[in-house]
Structure 1
Amino acid sequence: MADGRERLLDSLDVALGAVDARYAAAYPGLGPTRQPVHTVYVPVDRYDAGTVLSWGAQARDTFSRYISGADDLAELIGVEPALARAVLPLVEAKLATEPIEDLRIDFEDGFPQSGIAPGARDADEDAHLVRAAEAFRSTPDPTPFSGIRVKCLEPAVRARAVRTLDMFIGELADDGCLPDGFVVTLPKVSAPEQVAAMVTVCEFLETTHGLTSPLRFEIQIETPQAVCGPDGTAQVAAMIHAAQGRCSGLHYGTYDYSAACGIAAEYQAMDHPVADHAKATMQVAAAGTGVHLSDGSTNRLPVGTADEVRAAWALHARLVDRSLRRGFYQGWDLHPAQLPTRYAATFAFYRRSFPSAAERIAAYSARTDSGFLDEPATARALTSFLHRGLGCGALTDAEVHEHAGITPDRLRALAGFGAQDGRFE
C-alpha cells in the first residue's frame, strides 16, 4: 500500500509540478523590506537640495502653531488622550529626523509647463532635469526611498517619458549604482502591454547605463481601463505579472480615476465608492505577489485660517486611518502641513492595536490561551502588523520584545520572512 501511495505522489508531482512552479514564482508573498508610509510628490521645478529640510521645518512650524498639546491632538484626530500623549513626541521626533520617507520628483501632472511654447518644452524639461539630478545628488538629508515620476507611455508623450528617464538615470547612476530605494512611477497605465513595454525600457536603461541592479517601477492605477478592461477582466492583475517582478507597488490616483468615472469635482475623494471599488480590485490583484499598495491623496490642504487648517487636518487624519484599517499602509502627501497628521494618524493606528497584537503573538508563540483561536495566517498578519509599526517608528524593538516576548528574528520567522540578523530592513 505504501508503494502505491508513493507512486500516486510521484504522479501528482509530475501533474502539478509546472503549476506549482508558476504559482511560487507569481506569488512569492511580501518580504521583510520596509514599506514607506507615504510618498511625497514635488514638481521638478520646485525641487532643490533643501526640499526635505524645508518640508520638515514647515511641518514642524505649522504643527507647533496649531496644536497646543496632547489633549488638543487627541481631539483633532479622534483618539484617547493617553494614546495622543504617546503619539505626540513620536510625531515631533519624526518631523525633526525623517519628515519625508519617500520622495518622488514629478515630471508629470505636477509639471505641466503651461505657458511654454511646445517647441521649447523639451529644452525646458531637460534643464530642470539636469538641475534636479544635481540637487538630488547633493541633498544633505536624503530620504530612505526616492525616485521620479515620468510621463506616461501614451503616444503623445511616450518619447518624452523615455527621454526623461534615460537622462535622469544617466545623470544619477554612479558606477552603475542608483540610490537604495530608488523607484520610477509610471502613470496612467491602461493596459498590460504598456507594462511589458516599460520592462523593455528598463532593460534598455540597465544595459545603456551599466546598472548593477534591476530597475523597478510602480504602476499608477488612475484609469478605469486598468480596473476593468475591454473584455471585462481586471487588467491590473495582468499588469503585475507583465512586469516580470519589477513592479514594486500599485498606487491609486484619486482624482484622475474619479474624473474618468464621471464623478463631479466636489465629490472626488479617497472614500468615494468608485475609489473603494478600484482599490479593492487592486488589493485582490496584488495579494501574495509581494507588490505594495498605496492609497492616493486628498487635495484639501491645511492652509488658511486656524479653523481651515484644523478642518483639513481632521479630514486627512480620518482618511489616513481609514486607509490603514483597509490594508493600505501607504498614501500620498502633497503639502508639508499634511506630514503631521500623516504621522499622528499612522502612529496612533499602530499603538492603539499594539497591546492586543503583542499579547496574541506572545500567546501564539508560547502556545497559551489569549482568548483568540489564532491560526498561522492570523499570526503572520499580527507579526506583519508589528513589523510595519517598527519600520515607521511607531514601535520600538524593546517594546515588541517586552510585550510580545519574541526577538526580531523570531518575529521575522513568524511573519514568514525567515530569520535574518539585525533590525528589520
Structure 2
Amino acid sequence: MDRLPVASLSEDDLFRFLEDLEATLAGLRAGSAEVPEGRQPVHTVAGGAHLFRRDTAAKLGRIAGSCLERYAGEPAALREAFGNRLPAGTAGAVHERVRAKLAREPVESFLIDFEDGFGVRSDAEEDEAAVTAAAEVAAGVAAGSLPPALGIRIKSLSDVTGERALRTLDLFLTTLARAGGGLPDGFTVLLPKIVTAGQVDVLAGALDRLEATLGLPEGGVAIDIMIETPQSIVGGDGRIVVPELVAAAGGRCGTVHLGAYDLTGAAAVAAEEQTLGHPLCEVARQILQLSLADTGVRLSDGATNVLPVEPHRGRAVISAAEEAENMATVHGAWRRHYVDVRRSLSQGYYQSWDLHPAQLVSRYAAVFSFFLEGLDEAASRLDRFVSAAGRAVLTGSVFDDEASGQGLLNFFLRGLASGALTTEEAARSGLTAAELETRSFRTILEGRSG
C-alpha cells in the first residue's frame, strides 16, 4: 500500500489561512467573462433632437440602402469600396446581409441628441424640441416603429448648462409619461463631459425623483456615461476614477462610451490628428476595459468623423466627373469607417458610434465580415475543445484553455445577436441552441458531463 504524502501544515493552520482568505475575498466583485444578459447594439446612431421623428430609423435605413445601391450595388463593388479589405469569399454574404439588415432593422440604438447634435439654440427652442421629441417617442412606441434601443443625450451638468440639462430631462420624461405609453425598452440618458462623480450622482438623484413623481418604474431609466474629459479617467490624485463614476449611477449604468474627439482635444492634440486610432484613444480604451472588466457594464467606442457625404448632391443631373468624385468621397469615408470599426471589434469593443446614415453600410459590412471571416476557425476550435470536455487542447498551433472556451462562445453569441451569423452557422460550433442560450462555457461543460 502506497504511503500518503506527508504535509507540514496542520488542520488548524489550514483553517486559519482559509478564514483569512475568505475575509480577503469577501466583497470583491464576482468576475465573469460571459457576455452580459440582453442584447448589446453594435452601434449608437446619434441625431439632433429637433430632427427626431417616430419613423427616423426607417428613414435612415432607406437613405443607407439607396447609398448602397448607388455606390456598391454588387459584392465586387463593395469589395472595391473597402479597398479589397473584404475577402472575396465572404463579399457575397456580407453584401446580401447588409442589404437585408438595412431593410429589416437599420438602426439598433438611436440617441436623441440635445448636446452636440442639437447645437446652440434658445431655451424656448430646446423646450419645444424636448416636448416634440418625447411625443414622437410615445407615438413610435404605439406604432412599433422605434429601434430596439433608444435614449437621449442631455447637456453637461456643469455650472453653465446644468439647469438647462435638468429642465430638458424633466420636460422629456414628463411629456413621455403623460402620453401614457410608458418608457421604451432599455431607455437611457447619456451624460456628457463629466469631470466628477458628483455629476453622475445628481443625475441619478434627479431620475429617482422623476420616476417617483411620474409613476415610472423605479430604476427604469438607465444612465450611460460619456468618457471625454481627462478628469473622467484619471483623478487629481492619479487614481483611475471610471469605477467611481459607474458606482455613482447607483446601479443604473449600462454602457460607458468613449468620446474620442473631446478627449483628444482636451489633451491638446491637433485637430487633424484627432482620430480613433490616436495613441491617447488606445490608452483610454484599455483603461476602460481593465477598470470595468467583468462588471457587466458594456463599452462603446467613439465615432468616425470622416463622413460619406457626396460633395455634389441636391441636383437631378451631375456630370460624369462629379459622379466619380462623389463615389471616391463615399468610398474613402467608408474605408476609414470600416477600418475603425474592425479595429474596435478586434480590441473587444463591440459597439461604437455612427453619425450619418450612409455609415450604416460600412458599419454592417465591417461587423458582418468580422464574424464571417472568423467563423471557420472559431467553430473548429470550440467544437474540438468541447469534445475534449474542456481540457486544454492544441488545435493546430493554437492552445485553448477554459478562458479561450468562453471567448469562443462569446464570439458566437455576439455574432448571432448582431445578425452577422445565422443559427445554422452557429451550429457548426458543435453546440445546441439550448447550450448557446446558457451563455456560459462552464455550464455547458457541466451539462455534458452530467
Question: What is the TM-score with the length of structure 1 in the denominator?
Answer: 0.90
Segments of 5+ residues of structure 2 without an aligned counterpart are: 1-5, 311-325, 445-450
Question: Partner residue of 1:230?
Answer: 236
Question: Partner residue of 1:66?
Answer: 71
**Among 344, 349, 353, the residue aligned to 1:323:** 344
Question: Partner residue of 1:154?
Answer: 158
Secondary structure class of the residue paired with 2:358? helix
Pairing 1:373-388 to 2, within 5 Å after superposition: 373-388=399-414
Give, in whole Å, the separation in 2 of the partners of 1:175 and 1:137: 8
Partner amino acid for 1:320?
V
Question: Which shifted more, 289-298 or 226-235?
Answer: 226-235
Partner amino acid for 2:101?
K
- Tell me if structure 2 keeps the 8 A contact 1:247–1:291: yes
Give, in whole Å, the separation in 2 of the partners of 1:16 and 1:154: 44
1:283 to partner: Cα distance: 1.3
Give, in whole Å, the separation in 2 of the partners of 1:164 and 1:331: 25
Give, in whole Å, the separation in 2 of the partners of 1:168 and 1:7: 63
1:377 to partner: Cα distance: 1.0
Question: Which shifted more, 61-70 or 87-96?
Answer: 61-70
Pairing 1:275-314 to 2, within 5 Å after superposition: 275-304=281-310, 305-314=326-335
Question: Partner residue of 1:87?
Answer: 94
1:224 to partner: Cα distance: 1.1
Quick one: structure 1 residues 129 and 370, their matched pair in 2 at CA, closer, same or farther if it must change by over 3 Å? same
Question: Partner residue of 1:131?
Answer: 132
- Tell me if structure 2 keeps the 8 A contact 1:31–1:417: no
The percent of aligned pairs where both chains have the same amino acid is: 39
Question: Which shifted more, 104-113 or 202-211?
Answer: 202-211
Pairing 1:276-425 to 2, within 5 Å after superposition: 276-304=282-310, 305-367=326-388, 370-371=395-396, 372-401=398-427, 403-413=428-438, 415=440
1:177 to partner: Cα distance: 4.2
The superposition leaves residues 255-280 of structure 1 with CA deviations (integer Å, 9 ceiling, x where unpaired) of 11111111111111111111111111
Question: Partner residue of 1:108?
Answer: 115
Quick one: structure 1 residues 177 and 137, their matched pair in 2 at CA, closer, same or farther if it must change by over 3 Å? closer
Partner amino acid for 1:161?
A
Give, in whole Å, the separation in 1 of the partners of 2:18 and 2:158: 44
Partner amino acid for 2:351?
Q
- Tell me if structure 2 keeps the 8 A contact 1:28–1:290: no
Partner amino acid for 1:109?
D
RMSD of aligned alpha carbons: 2.4
Give, in whole Å, the separation in 1 of the partners of 2:435 and 2:423: 12
Question: Partner residue of 2:183?
Answer: 178
Quick one: structure 1 residues 226 and 259, their matched pair in 2 at CA, closer, same or farther if it must change by over 3 Å? same
Pairing 1:173-212 to 2, within 5 Å after superposition: 173=177, 177-212=182-217
Give, in whole Å, the separation in 2 of the partners of 1:172 and 1:28: 37
Give, in whole Å, the separation in 2 of the partners of 1:202 and 1:28: 30
Secondary structure class of the residue paired with 2:399? coil
1:9 to partner: Cα distance: 6.1
The superposition leaves residues 181-228 of structure 1 with CA deviations (integer Å, 9 ceiling, x where unpaired) of 211111111222222333222322222222224121111000011122
1:50 to partner: Cα distance: 2.4
- Tell me if structure 2 keeps the 8 A contact 1:148–1:183: yes
Question: Which shifted more, 284-293 or 362-371?
Answer: 362-371
Segments of 5+ residues of structure 1 without an aligned counterpart are: 420-425
- Tell me if structure 2 keeps the 8 A contact 1:102–1:143: yes
1:5 to partner: Cα distance: 7.0
- Tell me if structure 1 keeps the 8 A contact 2:29–2:295: no
Give, in whole Å, the separation in 1 of the partners of 2:439 and 2:15: 31
Secondary structure class of the residue paired with 1:193? helix
Quick one: structure 1 residues 15 and 90, their matched pair in 2 at CA, closer, same or farther if it must change by over 3 Å? same
The superposition leaves residues 110-135 of structure 1 with CA deviations (integer Å, 9 ceiling, x where unpaired) of 11234x4xxxx1x2212111111111
Give, in whole Å, the separation in 2 of the partners of 1:204 and 1:7: 53
**Among 230, 236, 246, the residue aligned to 1:240:** 246
Question: Which shifted more, 189-198 or 96-105?
Answer: 189-198
- Tell me if structure 1 keeps the 8 A contact 2:34–2:410: no
Question: Which shifted more, 314-323 or 150-159?
Answer: 150-159
- Tell me if structure 2 keeps the 8 A contact 1:28–1:288: yes
- Tell me if structure 2 keeps the 8 A contact 1:104–1:148: yes
- Tell me if structure 1 keeps the 8 A contact 2:35–2:439: no
- Tell me if structure 2 keeps the 8 A contact 1:177–1:213: no
- Tell me if structure 1 keeps the 8 A contact 2:227–2:256: yes
Partner amino acid for 1:382?
L
Partner amino acid for 2:184?
P
Give, in whole Å, the separation in 2 of the partners of 1:25 and 1:197: 28
**Among 166, 171, 178, the residue aligned to 2:170:** 166
Secondary structure class of the residue paired with 2:386? helix
Partner amino acid for 1:166?
D
* In the alignment, structure 1 residue 216 sits paired with structure 2 residue 185: no
Larger Rg: 1 or 2? Answer: 2
Quick one: structure 1 residues 374 and 164, their matched pair in 2 at CA, closer, same or farther if it must change by over 3 Å? same
1:165 to partner: Cα distance: 1.6
Question: What is the TM-score with the length of structure 2 in the denominator?
Answer: 0.85
Quick one: structure 1 residues 29 and 352, their matched pair in 2 at CA, closer, same or farther if it must change by over 3 Å? closer
Question: Which shifted more, 301-310 or 405-414?
Answer: 405-414
Question: Partner residue of 2:3?
Answer: none
Give, in whole Å, the separation in 2 of the partners of 1:218 and 1:303: 29
Quick one: structure 1 residues 294 and 193, their matched pair in 2 at CA, closer, same or farther if it must change by over 3 Å? same
Partner amino acid for 2:304?
T
1:365 to partner: Cα distance: 1.1
Partner amino acid for 1:405?
G
When the two structures are aligned, how many residues end up with a matched partner? 411
